[in-house]
Amino acid sequence: METVSENKCFGGVQGVYRHKSTVTNCDMTFGLFLPEEAKDGPVPLLWFLSGLTCTHENAMTKAGAQAWCAEQGIAIVFPDTSPRGDDVADDENYDLGKGAGFYVNATQDPWAPHYQMWDYIAEELPAFLGANFSVDLERQAISGHSMGGHGALTLAMNLPGRFRSVSAFAPICNPTASDWGRKQLTAYLGADEAAWAKHDASLMMRDTGFDGPVLVDTGTADQFYELLRPEALSQAVAERRQQATLRLQPGYDHSYFFISTFMEEHVSFHAEALYRD
């Protein structure tokens, strides 16, 4: 592991680290904030998965999460959104390739050799964090924005017992029902739609649900509202009678101004679940 940087932050440490990933077959970089309490023993861990075009750095510097995580004694990790490197396949469009891993294990060329982001987030990075940092893997929660909100919801519902709570900011809720979402799923996973279902939060909610609390915020002025399809998730929640709070926030868009406005509420929401016996 290479320590890229470490900075004192709200009594704790905001670090950036790089390591060789055997899953994505390239070097991966992530941000990790450890509160002051981590000096005395393992602390609960909150994941924040970022959206399209982002790296580990966007949420780490713009979301304002560290102050609230420090207040609650919670670590927060900011993974990258895709594999990186000169030999990693890319695309000229912003919604495919680098910065657009969609938190899936790609099965199609040219993506399959590196784009194994599901296994990286679900298996490799948690094990790496547990082995190298003072985090409690028995107390995990997950959140994310846009593509990362899609990842947070689908990972939480596909990994029962892993996360105590899940939240999302403007998540992509129903990619199988839009031409835009079907484009990425086809590129990474192929034409067999049966392979897509586990990566659609609305389908997963209807079929599986989540054994814990759910919080989702979406802005009514979100410029990508029609692509996000929050109404599909709302309908699935109602059909399953899932414990969930789904909120439309008047006038907010898709930006980090929106995320930072409601970050305190999301961290407090997760803290309640993480510290529940």
CATH class of 2-274: alpha beta
Active site residue 145: no
Hey, is 77 helix, strand or coil? Answer: strand
User: Active-site residue among 200, 222, 234, 270?
Assistant: 222
* Mean confidence (pLDDT) of the chain: 97
The structure's pTM equals 0.97
- Both tokens of 240, joined, read 């399953």
Nearest to 266, CA basis, from 55, 27, 63? 63
Active site residue 255: no
CA 15 to CA 30: how far, in whole Å? 8
User: Active-site residue among 145, 199, 254, 266?
Assistant: 254
pLDDT value at residue 24:
98
The Cβ-side half-sphere exposure at 245, using a 13 Å CA radius, reads: 12
pLDDT value at residue 178:
94
Give pLDDT tens digits for 108-135.
999 999 999 999 999 999 999 999 999 9
Which band of pLDDT confidence, cut at 50, 70 and 90, is reported for residue 277? Answer: confident
* Percentage above 90 pLDDT, the chain: 100
Which band of pLDDT confidence, cut at 50, 70 and 90, is reported for residue 220? Answer: very high
User: Active-site residue among 50, 146, 167, 234?
Assistant: 146
Active site residue 253: no
